[in-house]
Amino acid sequence: MEMPDNMQTSNNRIVICLNGEKPDERLLRAAMENAYIIAADGACRYLCDFGIMADCVVGDFDSFEFDRLNNALRPGGRLMRSIPEKDYTDGQMALKEALDMNPGDIVILGALGGRTDHEQENLRLLCAANENCSISILTRDERIFIINSEKTLYAAPGTTISLLPYTDTAEVALAEGFRYPMEGLMLSRCDALSLSGLSNIMLNGRAYVRLKRGLLLAIMLNH
């Protein structure tokens, strides 16, 4: 499986593995090439299945047997163990560890496919992205990220992308390179019958979005 153009290997990429749906092994190995790997608790199970060791393991170990840690954490790797009763998730713990390393790119695997409340919290991790660090959730079928001001998108012509409001309202100031016009569109997260940014199509290899206000959750299908 080929990596998307914007997922090419980088020396400042960090991959976070969470305890959701087990990722496709080829996608996992491609994402991890030349990357620093942080595994959160139960994600250690599928890393062990694939014979992959993490550079850092975090969590309270309610989902992975602590005595198996030698199979999941490389020799000399970093261990951050928390108590089970805490006010933050293992995903937040992993993200904070990643952000403290000042990477340019963070890719999150295993974020979806589990409990709905965990999925929602994992999607919220995307909001930590800034101009110096991109953050995306990668699955076998999708790449998910936040647009918080403006973004240039690169993908194969014909790629399907949904742009959904991630704040109460999100107003598109400018949108170029899409089949269905979005310029001036006001999207509402709380109004079930408002206009939708679902299933737009990229006309060529490049598109551009600039927001006047709010945040968009972008879901791009992998081809």
Per-residue pLDDT reduced to its tens digit, 100-141: 999 999 999 999 987 899 899 999 999 999 889 999 999 999
Residues 121 and 167 in one domain: no
For residue 212, the one-letter residue type is K
Residues 91 and 132 in one domain: yes
Query: How much is the mean pLDDT over the chain?
Result: 87
Q: Which domain holds residue 200?
A: 150-221
Residue 145 included in any domain: no
What Rg do the C-alpha atoms of the chain give, in angstroms? 18
Residues 133 and 211 in one domain: no
Model confidence at 62: pLDDT above 70: no
Residues 128 and 188 in one domain: no
Model confidence at 2: pLDDT above 80: no
Per-residue pLDDT reduced to its tens digit, 134-180: 999 999 999 999 999 999 999 999 999 999 999 999 999 999 999 99
DSSP H or E run through 90: helix 90-99
DSSP H or E run through 14: strand 13-17
Residue 192 included in any domain: yes
pTM of the complete model: 0.88
Q: What is the largest CA-CA distance in the chain?
A: 56
Find tokens 């005595």 and name the residue: 67
Name 52's Cβ contacts closer than 8 Å, sequence gap at least 6: 28, 29, 32, 37
Residues 101 and 120 in one domain: yes
Listed residue (219, 217, 220) closest to 189, CA to CA: 217
84 pLDDT tier (thresholds 50, 70, 90) = low
| HSE-up (13 A, CA, CB side) for residue 147 | 28
Residues 114 and 169 in one domain: no
pLDDT at 137: 97
pLDDT at 4: 39
164-202 b/e (C-beta count within 10 Å ≥ 16 → b): ebbbebbebeebebbeeebeebebbbeeeeeeebeebeb
Residue 200 included in any domain: yes
- CB 42 within 8 Å of CB 22: no
10 pLDDT tier (thresholds 50, 70, 90) = very low
Tally of domains in the chain: 2
Q: The CATH number of the domain where 108 resides is what?
A: 3.40.50.10240
70 pLDDT tier (thresholds 50, 70, 90) = confident
Residues 122 and 210 in one domain: no
Residue 2 included in any domain: no
- CB 61 within 8 Å of CB 43: no
Residue 1 included in any domain: no
